[in-house]
Structure 1
Amino acid sequence: MIKYYEIGKEREENDITGDKKKGILMGILIGCVVTAGLFGIWSKVKDFEFGKKETEYEHVIMGWDYLADKKFVSEKSAESGYNTVAPLWYKIEGSKSDIDGVRLKITSDSEYVNLAHKNGYKVWAMLSDGFSPTRSRLIFENEDKMNSIIDTIVEDVDAKGIDGVNVDFEGDGRKNREGFTRFVSILSQKLKESGKVISVDVTGYDSYSLSSYYDRAELSKMCDYIILMGYDEHWSGSKVAGSVSSIGWVKGNIESTLEEVPPEKLVLGIPFYTRTWRVVEGQGVEVTNAFVNVRKAPSTDGEKLASVKKGTFYKLLGSVDGEEIAGSSKWYSINYNGSEAYVHSKYVSALDYGNEGRASSKAHAIRIQNNMLKEKNMQVALDEASGQNIAVYENGDGSLTKIWLEDETAIKKRMEIVKELGLAGVSAWRLGYEDESTWKHVVEGLYGEK
């Protein structure tokens, strides 16, 4: 005897024909499917309600993985905040004068690729020329070597299931312009035959020697994406302090790039680092000799506190007479680490740095920046000129520490530009520089707070 239910009543049957059995089995099957479907829908609803639903980002959100560390693809893409990684796996190195000594170093990792795919990431292997335009020119001028390198890359990409290649060559102007464009053209054609993606990193327009290297219009025709490296407005060689990526500067470079590259192919590169600036304002002293000894008294008999190299600068306190050297008894009094010290006028110049000041800097990751803010209890205010927050701290030697902050304000302002101009996405230099909230600011800047 089989008991079953109809809507609103219960019924028993002693004799069930084969057709009825089929009907019941079909009913059970449909019921299971419906139940499973409803359960799946309910699961998705629950995931949505609790923020666990996997996100499919509309934009490319990439991190350059200079260390090629699997930890950066070990969690789900929806949890990390980015969907694409560019590990440095291909590097051209070797001789800068002999083409036979030029080689391609490959460090690609199948386990990395498999883990990345499992967790929802695309992998664009980064190809670097090692910042050597001279070596690159050797390749561009030798068809056999160029094709050999390209073929080796494409074979490796295919063999390991890598999704594409990110080309990062930073050259020296028009000398390499045509050669680089041809190199990318051949690489692009062979990658696309395998259904792979190619992107190329380009600079902004500030420096002709760097900027003119890239034929952006031609590159955009053959590449899936052009990545504008929107940073290093102020860099290690800058003598005036400033942001590595002020908002107006970034937008101006994007708008210039859009004259050559369509927005749906343009990705904005953003810094996950800043620079900590030491700034001397007003009267200062700068070392002009190869080196000079800083002494506790204006005499060679005075205790030597340090030997400092050319370009080092200090706050000027005044001038005094001291031991005569090379026909001059003039010594300058400076603030050295919070104490008065002396340098002879023969080896330095006294300068008025004005309100702009004379600066030197060190690069720091965002996570280090944030630690410094807490430790030093720095004053933070909005700098209207850069569109960023700036932190200022007075040092013991009379100089100032200034940091243009890479924080929620700066990141979200750049994401507003990405949305406003309809760009393809964003890429950050680099993975490992962020703190626990940095990628959250990127995603919220693009899509709003969840």
Structure 2
Amino acid sequence: MACGLFAPRAWAGQKVPFVDIGSSYAQASIIHLYQQKIMTGTSLTAFSPDKLMTRAQLLTSLNRMLKLEPLFSPISPFSDVPRDAWYYGWVQASVQLELAKGTSSTRFSPEKAVTRQEAAVLLVNALKQNDSDANANASTIFGDGQDIAEWAKPGVAAAYELGLIKGDGAGNFRPADSITRQEAAVLLDRVLQNEAWAAELDRSREERIVMGWNYGQTTAQFQANLGQSNVNTLSPRWYFADGDGAIADQTDSSLTLWAKGNDKKVWAMVGNRADQDATHEMLSNAASRERAVEALTALAVKYRLDGLNLDFENVAPQDRTVLTTFVASLARGLHDNGMVLSVDVSPDRDTDWTEAFDYAALGRQADYIVLMGYDEHYSGSPIPGPNASLPYVQKAVNRLLQAVSADKIILALPFYNREWTPEQPGALRSSRFISLQEQNELVIRHSAKPVWDAELGQYMVSYMDGSVMRKLWLEEGRSLSAKYRLAIDKGLAGVAYWYIGGESPDIWASLRNTETYAQYSFSS
């Protein structure tokens, strides 16, 4: 019997891919989703329309509909989602994008049947309609509305108003009943029958700046690590300014040739080796400043670069004005030759470390300001903590937005972390720099159990290394995706990664999923 809850449609075609859907009211929806590679059968020939739909099955189909990829991060808090399970990658994709949560902090319950109210809420959230105004009251829409869980009432009301669900023949919703596979097919297909939603799913994504720094790698290694990335702007560490304005040149022109052949730009990095005295010597002398500007402009022209990335750190507070003067002069030289200038800055924490940055003035002179959204807790921090918690990055972005427009800000994300050793009897607190690959290996080696901290937007693990306690606030697909979403939601010009080669391979699929999903805008 057809279930009014999911409003099926008729099938007018000829070929039926499954032998057991001939009498199913959802036949048209099942075939459409099969053709779109969104739902498959329980075998090559059977769909099993009357079987209950599990959480893993529904999320897999939902992810496919949203054009997401399965993810295979080694970091997972769920004891009931084994890495060799067919649904592991789809559960990871859902959790990383906050499309779904576990049934507890350690269990996901992938084989649990999905209830009607769960299905309604899941789909409304996935379509970003959870903030829409639901004029109807779920308690009064259906005869059994009082049985709908409080957490589900807004989602059920929204799903009703969006035309995704209806009551059954008796006007009830039966919220706690499990849905069958054919009911799930009708529900998902209803999304595709909405022309605006279908068009949004097929719309080309907006391209933004994605910059990757080279650090500690050969050119060949750098190029190899870019293979699966979404990086479109390369920043090799080629130039260093000396106190007299001379520029040390380490250009590898083979990278510029490779970049042009692979449709990527090159913004070579200009550093100061964090040498405050030499930097002061150069900035405070007009002749030295101009010598540096002329040399850098000539190098950019000679090697046909697309721009430069200025990374001056540990600049003395008293050099604030002359740093801005230097940036203005360098920007003019580059602009005269059709090139861009980006300037790296640390988050404004009201310390001497950033006093030299006149954020507003730098934003007016440079084309882009690259916010280094990390080092919340660094090697000399008085207490251990995360490298880049979400609140820290949010605060840093919001503060920079007070001085610089969003379309000129690039948010830099960390592809590195720190393993912390808290203070213990007879030993001082310490930390060591590690790549994300090393981080993941530590978690696996010590069988550490990640615990998600929703406030920080990060997993935290602790483990014993012999007799010594270690702590990690993890940077992985889920935490990095949250910060990437922040950049998109704030309308920033793009993101950057310090540093290419520090990532684990799974990160790229996580960031591609974030780029895809964050740009969806489903009108109601």
TM-score after normalising by structure 1? 0.67
Match of 1:409 among 450, 462, 478: 478
Change (3 A) 1:77 1:402: closer
Q: Does 1:234 align with 2:373?
A: no
SS of 2:236's partner is strand
Distance in 2 between the 1:392 and 1:207 partners? 32
Change (3 A) 1:88 1:57: farther
Match of 1:388 among 449, 453, 458: 458
Q: What is the identity, as a one-letter code, of the residue corresponding to 1:103?
A: A
Q: What is the identity, as a one-letter code, of the residue corresponding to 2:236?
A: P
Q: Is the 8 A contact 2:222 2:500 kept in 1?
A: no
Distance in 2 between the 1:164 and 1:239 partners? 38
Q: Encode CA deviations 1:225-250: one digit per residue, 9 max, x unaligned.
A: 10000000000012311001000010
Q: Does 1:249 align with 2:398?
A: no
Match of 1:66 among 189, 205, 215: 215
Match of 1:135 among 268, 278, 288: 278
Gap regions ≥5 residues in structure 1: 1-48, 286-311, 314-358
- Structure 1 runs (4+) greater than 4 angstroms displaced: 75-78
Q: What is the identity, as a one-letter code, of the residue corresponding to 2:456?
A: S
Q: Is the 8 A contact 1:67 1:87 kept in 2?
A: no
| Correspondence 1:330-409 to 2 at 5 A | 359-397=429-467, 399-409=468-478
Q: What is the identity, as a one-letter code, of the residue corresponding to 1:210?
A: W
Q: Which one has the largest radius of gyration?
A: 1
Structure with greater strand share of residues: 1
Q: Alpha-carbon deviation of 1:76?
A: 11
| Correspondence 1:1-400 to 2 at 5 A | 58-67=207-216, 69-71=218-220, 74=223, 79-93=228-242, 99=244, 103-280=246-423, 284-285=425-426, 312-313=427-428, 359-397=429-467, 399-400=468-469
Q: Is the 8 A contact 1:65 1:430 kept in 2?
A: yes
Q: What is the identity, as a one-letter code, of the residue corresponding to 2:319?
A: N
Distance in 2 between the 1:245 and 1:229 partners? 10
Q: Is the 8 A contact 2:283 2:289 kept in 1?
A: yes
Q: Is the 8 A contact 1:388 1:410 kept in 2?
A: yes
Gap regions ≥5 residues in structure 2: 1-66, 70-203
Partner of 1:434: 503
Q: Alpha-carbon deviation of 1:422?
A: 0.7
SS of 1:416's partner is helix
Distance in 1 between the 2:418 and 2:227 partners? 30
Q: Does 1:420 align with 2:497?
A: no
CA RMSD of aligned residues (A): 2.4
TM-score after normalising by structure 2? 0.58
Q: Is the 8 A contact 2:266 2:306 kept in 1?
A: yes
SS of 1:200's partner is strand
Q: Is the 8 A contact 2:435 2:503 kept in 1?
A: yes
Q: Encode CA deviations 1:33-88: one digit per residue, 9 max, x unaligned.
A: xxxxxxxxxxxxxxxx9x9xxx9861111111124632356469784221111000
Q: Is the 8 A contact 2:222 2:501 kept in 1?
A: no
Q: Alpha-carbon deviation of 1:202?
A: 0.4
Q: Is the 8 A contact 1:133 1:176 kept in 2?
A: no
Q: Is the 8 A contact 2:226 2:500 kept in 1?
A: no
Q: What is the identity, as a one-letter code, of the residue corresponding to 1:393?
A: Y
Distance in 2 between the 1:57 and 1:273 partners? 27
Q: Is the 8 A contact 1:382 1:389 kept in 2?
A: yes
For this pair of structures, how many residues does the alignment match?
A: 319
Q: Is the 8 A contact 1:177 1:215 kept in 2?
A: yes
Distance in 1 between the 2:343 and 2:383 partners? 30
Change (3 A) 1:72 1:61: farther
Distance in 2 between the 1:422 and 1:393 partners? 39
Distance in 1 between the 2:458 and 2:278 partners? 39
Segment drifting more, 77-86 vs 405-414: 77-86
SS of 2:352's partner is helix
Q: Encode CA deviations 1:354-407: one digit per residue, 9 max, x unaligned.
A: xxxxx311010001111111111111111244220011102333x421111111
Q: Is the 8 A contact 1:77 1:121 kept in 2?
A: no
Q: What is the identity, as a one-letter code, of the residue corresponding to 2:387?
A: V
SS of 2:292's partner is helix
